[in-house]
Amino acid sequence: METALLIISILLIALVLLQSNKASDAGQIISGGNNELFANTKERGSELLISRITLILGLAFFILSFIVYMN
């Protein structure tokens, strides 16, 4: 069970790093320089696939963590 949790966590880290960066610089968020940060844009193609796989792996990580904690 712990091995599956380790594999899922590594995959989850890799997928989060693969996602597109919506804020190009942290300083622009504070100063308001990035007007497109909260724009209503739809994910398409590979971005949508990576986003959905990240969601599924996140849920799997949460459930497995809960199961390991209860044992």
* pTM of the predicted model as reported, rounded to 2 decimal places: 0.71
Q: How far apart are CA 19 and CA 12, in angstroms?
A: 11
Tens place of pLDDT per residue across the chain (71 aa):
889 999 999 999 999 998 876 555 555 556 655 555 566 667 788 888 998 999 999 999 999 999 999 98
Q: How far apart are CA 60 and CA 33, in angstroms?
A: 36
For residue 22, the model assigns a pLDDT of: 59
Our CA dihedral for 37, 42, 45, 47, rounded to 10 degrees, sits at 30
pLDDT given for residue 19 in this prediction = 84
CA distance 71 to 68: 5
Nearest-angstrom CA–CA distance, 50 and 44: 10
